[in-house]
Structure 1
């Protein structure tokens, strides 16, 4: 059985897309906020791999093609931003300082918790890029001496949590301005949070898309500085 899956070109691709499709269907039918399609897909794939006794390397060999779509998908996020360019120009400084505050909050919280729990430098820098997109986060983690595989997992968890609870957090603190909501989701939970922002509205989606790129660049610089703190 394992040999069959290792020789299959589309095994990993099929179960990944199928699991995500089932996640979308479950959320549509049940309408429960915590039923995030990405989270459900991750759980489903783990269960399938364990039941069929297929190791990750075998699965990834046929699922890696999905990763090639990450770059064009990210580029496509520029479309809603272009459509809201005038709004961005009118609120440039608010947007800039909003993203800056989000990046500093992310890096500062990681430093505070790492210090509190006595994490090693390697563990600390592994967590620093938790709120930026995977493509940038892996590079930052490797450059600083972190464990890139754990960084990927942390980035995914951060994105899923932001997607699930981000909207409720904004409502809890009375944040209803579309620009502020979009910036918070994009800065805190990268592309997965942006998917939620696009569901909330065009303005939220555009600001969240902008946050991915700008917060990524700021984190590259900021993480290098914060890495020296511990």
Structure 2
């Protein structure tokens, strides 16, 4: 019976949906940093795969319908962007400065610390695009000579860590403006941060979606140049 369930073509989809629903319930009941839905859902899914002895390829093949909806879900982020277009225009220059400074600082600090700690060329190339969404990060890592698999892991860690820590840090810093909170979440935690921002409100989500989109585009263009200038090897 168990073998039939595991081999079902929708097993991965079921595990993912159940894991995320349980994570959402736990987060709503506790409202703590450590119960961030993406983090908890990931732990649940990994635990179930290990329990049922399911390899990643099998899980991926049975959950591929989720990736089918990623495109439409990303395009749908244009709706809050359009709704709050006037607010975005009002903050254009501060947002542009924040994007460039934050983007450059993230890449330079990441590469600098990793190099000082002895990271090799492949690891550096895999770390460099960690602050953008997975599809862009994987392609960039491959172009720079890194590992696409490692890049995907670093992107996930960055998104989850950002979604967990950013709200607490923003509260401690006294930042309550939806535009600032949303842009910070999207810039530092990409998709996970944008999902969290949408929970706070439509305006917060709009600025998070803007930050995630612009960060991906700017990084794809400038990262190869920055990486070439930064990495001494």
Q: Same fold (TM over 0.5)?
A: yes
Cα distance, 1:2 vs structure 2: 8.0
Q: Is the 8 A contact 1:13 1:65 kept in 2?
A: yes
- Tell me the residue number matched to 1:61: 61
Q: Does 1:176 align with 2:176?
A: yes
In structure 2, C-alpha distance between the alignment counterparts of 1:221 and 1:114, rounded to whole Å: 22
Gaps of 5+ in 2: none
Q: How does 1:108-147 map to 2 (within 5 A)?
A: 108-147=108-147
Cα distance, 1:21 vs structure 2: 0.6
In structure 1, C-alpha distance between the alignment counterparts of 2:5 and 2:136, rounded to whole Å: 31
Q: How does 1:79-228 map to 2 (within 5 A)?
A: 79-228=79-228
TM-score by length of 1: 0.94
Q: Is the 8 A contact 1:134 1:155 kept in 2?
A: yes
Cα distance, 1:107 vs structure 2: 0.6
Q: Is the 8 A contact 2:140 2:220 kept in 1?
A: yes
In structure 2, C-alpha distance between the alignment counterparts of 1:35 and 1:211, rounded to whole Å: 24
- Tell me the residue number matched to 1:13: 13
Question: For 1:100, what is the secondary structure of its paired residue?
Answer: helix
Q: Is the 8 A contact 2:23 2:35 kept in 1?
A: yes
Cα distance, 1:66 vs structure 2: 0.9
Structure with more contact order per residue of length (Cα contacts < 8 Å, sep ≥ 6): 1
Question: For 1:34, what is the secondary structure of its paired residue?
Answer: helix
Number of paired residues? 230
- Tell me the residue number matched to 1:40: 40
In structure 2, C-alpha distance between the alignment counterparts of 1:220 and 1:132, rounded to whole Å: 9
Question: For 1:174, what is the secondary structure of its paired residue?
Answer: coil
In structure 2, C-alpha distance between the alignment counterparts of 1:226 and 1:67, rounded to whole Å: 30
Cα distance, 1:184 vs structure 2: 1.1
Root-mean-square deviation (CA, aligned residues, Å) is 1.6
In structure 1, C-alpha distance between the alignment counterparts of 2:101 and 2:220, rounded to whole Å: 15
In structure 1, C-alpha distance between the alignment counterparts of 2:110 and 2:181, rounded to whole Å: 22
Question: For 1:114, what is the secondary structure of its paired residue?
Answer: helix
User: What CA deviation, in whole Å up to 9, does each residue of 1:55-105 have, x standing for no partner?
Assistant: 111111101221111111111111111111011112211111111122112
Cα distance, 1:225 vs structure 2: 1.5
Question: For 1:193, what is the secondary structure of its paired residue?
Answer: helix
